[in-house]
Amino acid sequence: MTDISFTATSAALRRERLAINPLSFVLEGSDLDLSRPRLHASFEQIARAGYTAVHADVPPGFTVREYAEFIASYGLRPAPGYFGGFFDRLEERADVVEGARRRAAEAAELGVDALFIAQHMCDARRARPGIGVEASAERLAVMADGLAEAADAARAEGVTVVLHPHVASWIETEPEVRGVLDRTHGSALMFGPDTGHLAFAGADPVALVADYRDRVAGIHLKDLDSSAATAVLRDGANYFDATRGYRIWAEPGTGDLDLAGVLAALPPGYGGWYVVEVDLPKHGTPFESAVLARENLLAEPYFAETPTAEAPLTEDAR
């Protein structure tokens, strides 16, 4: 009975930490519409889709307190946001680390305990995404050291920084992800994998999560249309077209990734966030996409509301 109760409680806690990035609701071309009317419409739909938490970065025109109240007015809670910087530019490191610290301080004020952090995208890899063009071990070391400094600065604000590998950035391929994580072993920098980005760049998300499970403190859940990804690589398409024309990203459970395997690779006591992220809907409207992603994930045994058939809930347990 104890094991059954633990399974049910764990699933409930996992569902509480299931959030969504509103990207597909606010993306306009290559820009984001973060106006109050657009956010109002987006958050209304996100709440109606069944989510209770939303990726939160304070938009222009809001104070931290105003944004926290704005999110709460829709029955939502803030979930980890995102900070990007040019960690490859050694001469700008102090400014980038300070920017990460400020963003972490905002997160802490919002009541969020983690922050995804990434190297900004670059022109060379925007033009040819997913194949690790112009790789550099020296550059990787510079970025790793800068990310570790940023993680230390964020920890001082009470926030855990998690590395978010991103296609079209200098931290894209599996060797690059492992290189940064291995060089920063023992630092405050944790791991925040994005299942879709890893897979498109040829990595095995299940293996990476399993190998660095003790450092995973947040995860972005997106699926990958492997046939579309293959077409992007075959045609030499750029990142903009890959996401908008080829629509390589898909709602969790509608693509070709082993998301169940990724979830199973997380440590048993994992208490981090799960953030649904689909840049543009693969299926239907942003609202329909959000509903589909949530329904598919909640159908996974990992998020199941009740214990599995192998350990049925007894009347005593109820």
Average pLDDT over residues 131-160: 98
Residue 8 — very low, low, confident or very high, per pLDDT cuts 50/70/90? low
Q: Where are the beta strands (DSSP E) in the chain?
A: 18-20, 27-28, 31-32, 53-55, 77-79, 82-85, 114-119, 160-163, 190-191, 218-221, 223-224, 249-250, 273-276
Question: What does DSSP assign to residue 90?
Answer: G
58 is a domain residue: yes
Is pLDDT above 60 for 307? Answer: no
**Mean of the pLDDT values across residues 274-289?**
96
Per-residue pLDDT, 312: 39
Q: Examine the pLDDT at 42 and tell me if it is beyond 60.
A: yes
**Total structural domains within the chain:** 1
Q: Is the pTM of this model over 0.85?
A: yes
Domain of 108, CATH number, reads 3.20.20.150
The pLDDT of 280-305, averaged and rounded, is 94
Query: Domain range holding 246?
Result: 2-303
Tell whether 310 is covered by a domain.
Answer: no
Q: Is 31 a residue whose pLDDT tops 80?
A: yes
- Quickly tell me which residue has 């040819």 as its tokens: 128
State the average pLDDT over residues 222-241.
Answer: 98
Residue 122 lies in a domain: yes
Q: Give mean pLDDT, residues 303-318.
A: 47
Query: Residue 73 domain-assigned?
Result: yes
In a domain? residue 296: yes
* Residue 262 placed within a domain: yes
Helices 36-48/64-72 angle, 10° precision: 40
Predicted local distance difference test score (pLDDT) of residue 268: 86
Residue 176 within any structural domain of the chain: yes
Domain membership flag for residue 316: no
Q: Which two tokens stand for residue 202?
A: 């040829």
Please determine, for residue 212, whether its predicted confidence score (pLDDT) is greater than 70. Answer: yes
